[in-house]
Chains A and B, each alone.
Chain A
């Protein structure tokens, strides 16, 4: 398992035993006895799951859940409770927790619930995992430039593609939150915005790296070794081919394929940002990236 977990319980023995039970799981485990301290940690760190007791001094578990949800709505929450009354559990579930553990519980139960919570929490997390990036997105969405784009085209018929292009140029990509904002600003349904964004290959809902690498897979490039270029780049950049977009961990490079860049005479072609590299030797494709910091 992989992930960051915070245990909150006023009883240090619970924390100690939980940590002991999960010792070999490979998880990053932290424990605090004070809910106030816990809230501070949640604000500063990027936890996937928070496991909390209900009855605690200072702030009770429900309050902790409420404040955590307000801060980080995507964190998965698991409740530990000694008083597993129906009402308590129902209240907690209504607040959006993933699961609960009734004391006393066995290490196996803990592992099971933890696995479930982590899977769910990681799945609902946005692609951007790092806080600075999320903040950056927020800041960009509130920026004057972005709002003025929307205002400029609000009543211009047929301007949606132009707005999306300019928005993408400003923000870098078009995640659902940006699409919602555009729909609201343009006074059109979100579905209409989504239908356009999802149709055109130029628009991306995934974040791109500082440098975007496009490999042409048109007919000419295909025969001249585009598939090898892609596999070499993936290997060299350690990018896994998953649904989260092909991007390196340090956000330096993102990798894309395009149907045809229209430079078939120089196949195979790789485009990095706006520089076109023709006649690429598939074996040396990683060398192209050297100059892009």
Chain B
């Protein structure tokens, strides 16, 4: 394929036919997401290697692995070169550098960042690679055809090694649609995207879909904005399309949340934006990157826009037809608030990132007071899939109110963290136990933090279902029309379930917290960040966050009274109710959800001056239970302050005047003899008593 200048519809249909011929369709084509094809790999290459080039794997040295691999192959090339065919110019242009009969591609992020750097050799998935392992892989796998077991994923329970990516639990429960091409294509190479149905949806639209058809298809699919609010995309588009204006804009928020798509498959976003532009009559678009420091991201977006432009997929006369859509990158200057759509518009206009009241919604009056569609990259990336496969297909996973899939980042005290895309009807239970591989050794689940900095905390009984007799869905209103779909297995990753539980989808961050976390302390930290991130435009948010932080600090330092709890709760409700934008409306959820689900912990802090998790230093003491201590001395050896003393095989003791409450002994002891108790009266140092007395006088 000689693709050097603007493509036409004919070219795209040729590409489609050619790639269909080339592909090895493993399952029925009627289920497109299960259709697996080899990426753009030279047919004469016997081995294909995809090294993960995502930021996680890069940070762990995947580029060095690639270099080492190339060097290693150079060394063994003499034997391999005989079988290799001559290399054409087009092939070397692709980043896939081919040495001998091996093609090496630097792919986008696999999401398995926890085990990075990762690499697939043919169908075998290798993880946690070191440069030293490269020789083994080449020697064993490539030359002898013997996959290297020790570098594969290990099933800890059954002590077996799993070679294939689809069989690894982390990947098995996921349903990649938006990220279907991840790890398989080079994101900087448009041809690889084109070979994977790329721009086919745009071709379909240009060839003769009316704007009404597109909008009704998106509406029928029930696609909701993936930015956190969950507003139905089709309705937004319809409002914008109805507005009469000389100029309309399409803006894609490529903030940190959706960078995974930009890093893996940037053309899918551009395709979705172009379709949106045709549907709404917009001719100008921006991809907004909030952080000017995201150099990799910016470079990739610039390159992608350029590529799409030179192939005639955006710009004037899309695919040789009469549509026009000019796309630019717009770089902000940081701050969390610029993720809010109206604040983002201010930032693109070159002003302070202040949000503005809604309505008027941006779809009516947005950038430069013109109708504007603001959506998240994940939303746009879903659009081509819906156009190609239909609304019915899109609705085949998820619930009726939250159809489709959602990307989450999964971290915390679980065995495997990373970036995941799951059907929205998956329960968080299977996310944690299945994809996350369960809790880490010796850790017990306490709460799930959903939604990033403005999210809420969900307790165990709602995640695991009614294990202790309390119904998991107790807080769900009886009138909820979706209640027929409720499952006894705890809440699902849907907008409605998460909102009912009192959290938000937010940025789609999932942090699994264990019993070591103090919820009061965590809420305090959330408020500290929130008061720093508040833009300061409206009073409830600017002052409310600060006051809530002060109250929480008072609680964690031990001089709060029961009335403080009441005020805190009331204030959180008021800030949520009266704040101007989504930030102020969701940031208090950290306080509201912890108060709702972990009230006993707050009460212990306030009434008993005791932090049961031992995180609030003023309210906890570490001591050794003499009945349990075996005198193994391991804690005494690890104590950085030498505060633990005792004879061998006799109970030890902690000198409270030396203890800095670093938890080292608590984590070290295998017998559970280290206990966390409230500060005993005589243990209170004068420093602690001082502020307590003072504050109560006030």
Contact = CB atoms under 8 A, between A and B. Distances in A.
Interface stretch (B70-78, B240-248, B350-358): B350-358
A132 interface: no
A26 interface: no
A266 B335 contact: no
A39 B533 CA distance: 50
A196 B59 contact: no
B292 A165 contact: yes
A199 B349 CA distance: 14
Given A265-B56, A266-B56, A274 B295 contact: yes
B304 interface: no
A266 B332 contact: no
A276 B350 contact: no
Contacts of A218: 529
A200 B525 contact: no
B352 A196 contact: yes
Interface in A189-223: 192, 195-196, 199-203, 218-220, 222
A260 B257 CA distance: 12
Contacts of B56: 263, 265-266
A161 B59 contact: no
B411 A222 contact: no
B453 A265 contact: no
B347 A161 contact: yes
Interface in A218-243: 218-220, 222
A59 to B, nearest CB: 50
B532 interface: yes
A245 interface: no
Interface string B549-587: 000000000000000000000000000000000000000
Interface string B346-380: 01111111000000000000001000000000000
A18 interface: no
Contacts of A195: 351-352
Interface in B286-302: 291-295
Contact of B256 (A161, A199, A200, A262): A262
B153 interface: no
B333 A202 contact: yes
Contacts of B114: 265
A260 B259 CA distance: 14
Contacts of B350: 157-162, 196
Interface residues of A, number: 32
B59 A266 contact: yes
A34 to B, nearest CB: 52
Interface string B532-547: 1101000000000000
A93 interface: no
B480 to A, nearest CB: 31
Contacts of B293: 202, 261, 271, 274
B454 to A, nearest CB: 12
A259 B292 contact: no
Interface in A127-179: 157-162, 164-165
A202 B293 CA distance: 9
A29 interface: no
Given A219-B453, A220-B411, A265-B113, A202 B334 contact: yes
Nearest to B533: A259
B256 A259 contact: no
A89 B411 CA distance: 70
A161 B333 contact: yes
A281 to B, nearest CB: 13
A259 B452 CA distance: 13
Contacts of B620: none
A192 B333 CA distance: 15
A278 interface: yes
Interface string B174-199: 00000000000000000000000000
B336 interface: yes
B666 to A, nearest CB: 15
Interface in A56-76: none
A288 interface: no
B221 interface: no
Interface string A256-272: 00011111111000010
A53 to B, nearest CB: 51
A200 B349 contact: no
B472 interface: no
Contacts of A160: 350-351
B336 A259 contact: yes
Given A199-B353, A219-B529, A265 B411 contact: yes
Given A161-B332, A263-B59, A199 B292 contact: no
Contacts of B349: 157-158
A259 B532 contact: yes
Interface string B402-418: 00000001010000011
Given A157-B350, A159-B350, A259-B533, A200 B335 contact: yes
Given A158-B368, A200-B333, A276-B59, 20 more contacts: A161-B331, A162-B331, A162-B350, A192-B351, A195-B351, A196-B333, A199-B335, A199-B352, A199-B535, A202-B333, A203-B333, A219-B511, A219-B526, A259-B336, A260-B256, A262-B256, A262-B291, A262-B294, A265-B114, A266-B59
Interface of B: 55-56, 59-60, 113-114, 256, 259, 291-295, 331-336, 347-353, 368, 409, 411, 417-418, 453, 511, 525-526, 529, 532-533, 535
Q: 5 tightest CB-CB pairs across the interface, nearest first? A: A200-B333, A160-B350, A202-B333, A158-B350, A202-B334
22 contacts: A157-B350, A158-B348, A161-B347, A162-B350, A165-B331, A195-B351, A195-B352, A196-B333, A196-B351, A199-B353, A202-B292, A202-B293, A202-B334, A219-B525, A220-B411, A260-B256, A261-B293, A262-B256, A262-B259, A266-B56, A274-B293, A278-B60
